[in-house]
A and B are shown apart, each in its own frame.
Chain A
Amino acid sequence: MSNDWILRHQQQRVLTLTLNRPDARNALSTACLELLVSHLENADSDDSIGAVVITGSSRCFAAGADLRELQQQKVADAIVDRRPQVWQRFNAISKPIIAAVNGYALGAGCELALACDIVVSGENARFGLPEITLGLIPGAGGTQRLLRNVGKSLASQMVLTGEPINAQQARDAQLISEICVTELTLERAQQIATRISQQSPLALRAAKSALKAAQETTLSQGLNLERQHFVSLAGTDDRAEGIAAFFEKRSPEFKGR
């Protein structure tokens, strides 16, 4: 039964993972989150997959963590909680992850979207961190990633009031890259993922790593790191193929070497 929590669908080199707990508004219980991450880890080591799309339903991406779980948790339980490790594993995925958000992305659902590389959302999307209204705070990067994405004032307002923002506000604040007609959000995300999945796997890996480093390091360290990645690609077959295909006006055939 637990396997149904996440539906898996691969088309060409794009894997789509659909959160599927409609009765729980796609709440990210620890078990559900672990299942998601294990799917991602499998995808990471699967050469037939170039990019992953994560989505929910048309009305709900994921509406937070499992409150029953949190209700029973004591301090000692919180200290030894596995969730932080699961999120770290999520963060270690090297392939591009695109979130296709329709409806509510709240609490852990919002943090999941924030942890993805690209977020596109439907017009009906709502992003929020309502943890404060429950007497707790975001626990999976909500305060950190949100502030780095949207700036101090809006991040603080969202975290301290718990009130969600709509798709328009999310795009203005650069939390998401595109707003789609709701019925087409998943398709648009898959289109972006398809385009990504056709690029050189080695170059994608290096590019994602460099982009993520930009959030962790100073500019000069980041530039050094970028240079190292750039150099590391110099000897790859894919780089030679990419440039050759450009001059020969044909589509490159990348081999991941």
Chain B
Amino acid sequence: MTSSDENMVLTHIEAGVLTITLNRPDRLNSFNDEMHRQLSEALKIAERDEAVRCVLFTGAGRGFCAGQDLNDRNVSVEQAAPDLGLSVERFYNPLIRRMTALPKPIVCAVNGVAAGAGAAIALACDIVIASANASFIQSFCRLGLVPDSGGSWFLPRLAGHARAMGMALLGDKISAQQALEWGMIWQVVEPEILAARTQELAQHLATQPTYGLGLIKKAMYSAATNTLDQQLDLERDLQRLGGRSEDYREGVSAFFQKRQPEFKGK
């Protein structure tokens, strides 16, 4: 293992925010197995450390994440076909499942190109802010593959069926501005203020009622597959839990005492 192998994913905790930086800038932060393992460790911190109340994802260098590193996938004619399903099952699917199930908000600062699984990972974050020079590419179709890491689930929900089809079948580069207009992301900002803006937003979220935000996240993801009837029941249950949280008491008493609430995230 060379020294660069050791820091393919950087983590930094400050003011309740865990910043996770994909760090293979010379390969546009594309994934290999080792980077997956390091990202998995970083997510473990997000899941277990109570001091972490918001996660901020970003990429080092000029790209956000170019998906799978194809250098790891040199397929010669003589070799047997690889089982890409295995890599999806072992690395990408658990990653997306853990991100969406994390009961804490995840902000994504898309600092440059987000392609293939990299685009799906960005879209799996809860609030996505892209730099004006960032782009999203569904590159799978050019290799005979299928959008994975939830790409085929997120795209039609975010952008609608027609746009999802266009993006997935053509693999064109979608600009940050276009992604914003299509409702795929929350904001576009100038490149020089991306880091500051997303850090500020993440720090704000880290002072909010984290437990309640986790319930909101659960409600939103469940809505995608529930009927209205099921969702109404779920809202009742989640509201019941929210109403029992310390932060709810704090929020209400701060309101009546006309002061700023101090949320503990519980």
| In the complex, chain A residues whose CB is within 8 Å of the CB of B234 | 181
Q: How far is the CA of A181 from the CA of B241 in the complex (A)?
A: 10
A218 to B237, CA, bound (A): 41
Kindly state whether residue B240 has any CB partner on chain A within 8 Å.
yes
**Does A211 count as interface, using CB distance less than 8 angstroms?**
no
Asked if A184 is at the interface of the complex by the 8 Å CB criterion, the answer is: yes
- The bracket for how many chain A residues form the interface is under 10
A168 nearest CB neighbor, chain B only: B225
Annotate B222-260 by CB proximity to A: 1 below 8 A, 0 otherwise.
000000000000100110110000000000000000000
Shortest CB–CB separation between residue A5 and chain B, in angstroms? 28
B241 and chain A: residue at smallest CB distance: A183
A-side contacts of B237, CB under 8 Å: 180-181, 184
A107 to chain B, nearest CB (A): 25
A184 contact set on B, CB distance < 8 A: 237, 240-241
Residues of B within 8 A of A183 (CB): 241
Please indicate the chain B residues that have their CB under 8 angstroms from the CB of A181 in the complex. Answer: 234, 237-238, 241
Within 8 A of B (CB), among A214-239: none
Where chain B touches its partner, the secondary structure class is helix
Q: Size range of the interface on B?
A: under 10
Chain A residues lying within 8 Å of B241, measured Cβ to Cβ, are 181, 183-184
Min CB gap A103→B, angstroms: 15
Q: Distance in Å from the Cβ of A121 to the closest Cβ of chain B?
A: 14
| Interface bits A163-201 vs B (CB < 8 Å: 1, else 0) | 000000000000000001101100000000000000000
Which chain A residue lies CB-closest to B237? A181
Question: Considering the chains assembled together, what is the distance between the CA atoms of A211 and B237 in angstroms?
Answer: 31
Report the Cα distance A184→B240, complex, angstroms: 9
Cα A184 to Cα B237 with chains together (Å): 8
Instruction: Name A52-72 residues within 8 Å CB distance of B.
Output: none
Give, as a whole number of angstroms, the nearest-CB distance from B22 to chain A: 29
Least CB distance from B94 to A in Å reads 15
Q: How near does chain A come to B250, taking the closest CB pair, in angstroms?
A: 20
Residues of A within 8 Å of B240, CB to CB, are 184
Expressed in whole angstroms, the Cα–Cα distance for A180 and B238 within the complex equals 11
> What is the CB-to-nearest-CB distance from A167 to chain B, in angstroms, rounded to a whole number?
13
Q: How far is the CA of A181 from the CA of B240 in the complex (A)?
A: 11
A144→B240 CA distance, assembly (Å): 39
B238 partner residues in chain A, CB cutoff 8 A: 181
Residues of B contacting A180 in the complex (Cβ-Cβ under 8 angstroms): 237
Q: Mark B199-242, 1 if CB is under 8 A from A, else 0.
A: 00000000000000000000000000000000000100110110
CA distance A30 to B241 in the complex (A): 37
Complex alpha-carbon distance, A242 and B64, angstroms:
68
Q: Tell me, in angstroms, the Cα distance from A184 to B234 when the chains sit together.
A: 11
CB proximity of A169 to chain B, nearest CB, Å: 15
* B98 CB, nearest partner CB in chain A, Å: 14
Say how far B211's CB is from chain A's closest CB, in angstroms: 11
A180→B240 CA distance, assembly (Å) = 13
Q: How far is the CB of B142 from chain A (nearest CB, A)?
A: 35
Measured between alpha carbons, how far is A253 from B178 in the docked complex, in Å?
A: 67
A19 to B234, CA, bound (A): 27
Q: How far is the CA of A11 from the CA of B240 in the complex (A)?
A: 20
Separation in Å of the B73 CB from the closest CB of chain A?
A: 30
CB nearest to A180 among chain B residues: B237
A135 to chain B, nearest CB (A): 27
**Whole-angstrom distance from the CB of B226 to the nearest CB of chain A?**
11
Q: Give the distance in Å from the alpha carbon of A180 to the alpha carbon of B241 in the complex.
A: 12
Interface on A for B, CB 8 Å cutoff?
180-181, 183-184
CB pairs A–B below 8 angstroms (9 shown) = A180-B237, A181-B234, A181-B237, A181-B238, A181-B241, A183-B241, A184-B237, A184-B240, A184-B241
Known pairs A181-B238, A181-B241, A184-B241; list 6 more (Cβ under 8 Å): A180-B237, A181-B234, A181-B237, A183-B241, A184-B237, A184-B240
Give the 7 A-B CB pairs with smallest separation, nearest first: A181-B237, A184-B237, A183-B241, A181-B238, A184-B240, A181-B241, A181-B234
